[in-house]
Amino acid sequence: MSRRRFITLEGGEGVGKSTLLAGLENELGRLGQKIVCTREPGGTAMAERLRSVLLSPQEIGDKSSPVAEALIISAARRDHVENLIEPALSEGNWVICDRFVDSTRAYQGMALSGEDFDALAKIATNSVMPGLTLLLDAPPEELLERRKQRGAQLDRFERRPMSFHNDVRQRFLKIAKSEADRVVVLDALRTPEQLVAEAILHLKKVGLLPEETNTGAVS
Ligand code: TMP
C-alpha cells in the first residue's frame, strides 16, 4: 500500500514543530499541493476543549493520572481522526499534524502495558497511521531555556522536571529506532531552512514526492 500523505511532527517541548510545520506548508503549497495543517490534542471543537482542560494548570492542577491523560487524549484523537484527518485525506489533501500517537507513547506510555497501549492507540487512530513522522530531537535543557528566555507561559507538561523531559526524549528516540521506516530523526538545532530542506528530502526518499521535484528549499 502506498504511504498516506499524512505527515506528523513530533518531539519534546519547544523543538520547533510549529516553525517546521509552517515551512513545510509553504513549500508544499508552492508545489501546488492542497494541505490541511492541524494539531493534537486538538483539531476539532471537541478535541480543542479537551486540550484546554488537559494543558491548563489552573483547571486541573499539576498532578493527574497519566492513564487518565492517555484516555482523554485518545478520545480527542478519535474525534480528530474521524472528523478531520480521514475526510481531509479522502479529499486528496496532505495532512500535516503537530503531534500524534507517538506523543502519547512518549508522554503517557510508561503508565500502560505495551499491549494496553497498542489496543488504545488502535482505537484512537482508527488504524490511520502517518506515512512519515519527523521527530525533532535536541537536549531538553537547551530548548526549555530558549522558551523561558522568550518569556513563554509554561503549560502543565512544560512545568515538569527536567528528568521527565529527558525520559520523553529517550522514549521518542526509542520509537524512532523501532519504527525506522516511518520515523526519521532531525536535529532540532539546525536552522528552520535546513530542517524544511531535510524534510523535503525525506518526503522524496519515501516516495511521497517525486525525486525530480524542484523545491526552493536549501540544505
Ligand atoms: P504543544 O502543542 O506545545 O506541543 O503542547 C501539547 C502538550 O501536550 C505537550 O506538552 C505534550 C502534551 N501531549 C501529551 O502529553 N500527550 C499527547 O499524546 C499529546 C498529543 C500531547
Q: At what angle do helices 45-55 and 66-80 cross, to 10 degrees?
A: 160
Q: What digits encode the pLDDT tens for the residues 73-115?
A: 999 999 999 999 999 999 999 999 999 999 999 999 999 999 9
Task: Tell the residue nearest (CA) to atom 13 of ligand 1.
Answer: 103
Provide the CATH number for the domain around residue 53: 3.40.50.300
Q: What is the pLDDT of residue 218?
A: 53
pLDDT above 70 (res 217): no
Task: Tell the residue nearest (CA) to atom 9 of ligand 1.
Answer: 157
Helix/strand/coil for 136: strand
Cα(2) to centroid(ligand 1), Å? 29
Q: What is the mean pLDDT of the chain?
A: 93
Cα(212) to centroid(ligand 1), Å? 36
The answer to the question of residue 214 being in a domain is no
Q: By C-alpha distance, which of 135, 138, 134 is closest to 189?
A: 138
Binding-site residues, ligand 1, Cβ < 6 A: 13, 39-41, 55, 73, 99, 103-104, 107-108, 155, 157-158
Q: What is the number of domains present in the chain?
A: 1
pLDDT above 90 (res 203): yes
The answer to the question of residue 68 being in a domain is yes
- Give the mean model confidence (pLDDT) for residues 139-143: 91
Task: Give residue 158's domain range.
Answer: 3-205
